[in-house]
C-alpha cells in the first residue's frame, strides 16, 4: 500500500533557445539555474530546496521537446502577480489570461519566450 503524497514531483518546460529562456525566467522570477546534460539533452534546473513544499523542474532543450500553449499548464507561485506579469510582458512574453481572482487567490497566464503557456498564482 502506498502512502498518500502529492503526486507530481518534477516538470520540464520545452525550450527552443535555452539561454534566452534562462534569461526570461531569471528576469521574471529571479531564478538561478544549474545547467546539466541529462540523457543527452540540455537542461537548466530550477532551484529546489529540500524540506520545502512544492516541486521543481527544468527548462529542457532537445528534439523531443516542443513548446506549446495547448499542453499541460504549470503554475508558478509569486508574491506579486502584477509585477511578475509586467516583467513577463516587457521581457518577450505575451499575456494570455489577465490577472483574475479565482476565489482562492489571484491567477494569470502568459506565453513565455519559447511559446509555452505558463500560469501565475498569488495567495490571498
Euclidean distance between CA atoms 16 and 103, whole angstroms: 35
Structure-block grid coordinates of residue 89 = 510582458
Confidence of residue 54 (pLDDT cuts 50, 70, 90): confident
Confidence of residue 93 (pLDDT cuts 50, 70, 90): very high
Mean pLDDT of 51-59: 92
Euclidean distance between CA atoms 11 and 56, whole angstroms: 7
pLDDT at 99: 98
For residue 94, the Cα-to-chain-centroid distance in whole angstroms is 14
Q: What is the CATH number of domain 10-123?
A: 3.10.180.10
Q: What percent of the chain has pLDDT over 70?
A: 98
Phi then psi for 82, rounded to 5 degrees?
A: -65, -45
Cβ partners under 8 Å of residue 107, min gap 6: 75, 81, 97, 99, 100, 119, 120, 121, 122
Please give the mean pLDDT across all residues of the chain: 95
Cα Rg of the chain (Å, integer): 15
Amino acid at each position: 500500500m502506498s502512502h498518500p503524497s502529492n503526486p507530481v514531483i518534477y516538470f520540464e518546460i520545452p525550450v527552443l533557445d535555452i539561454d534566452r529562456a534562462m534569461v526570461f525566467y531569471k528576469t521574471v522570477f529571479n531564478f538561478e539555474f544549474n545547467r546539466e546534460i541529462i540523457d543527452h539533452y540540455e537542461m537548466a534546473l530550477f532551484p529546489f530546496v529540500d524540506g520545502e513544499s512544492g516541486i521543481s523542474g527544468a527548462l529542457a532543450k532537445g528534439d523531443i521537446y516542443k513548446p506549446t500553449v495547448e499542453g499541460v499548464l504549470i503554475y508558478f507561485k509569486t508574491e506579486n502577480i502584477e509585477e511578475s506579469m509586467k516583467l513577463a510582458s516587457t521581457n518577450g512574453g505575451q499575456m494570455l489570461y489577465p490577472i483574475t481572482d479565482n476565489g482562492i487567490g489571484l491567477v494569470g497566464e502568459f506565453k513565455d519566450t519559447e511559446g509555452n503557456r505558463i500560469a501565475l498564482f498569488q495567495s490571498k
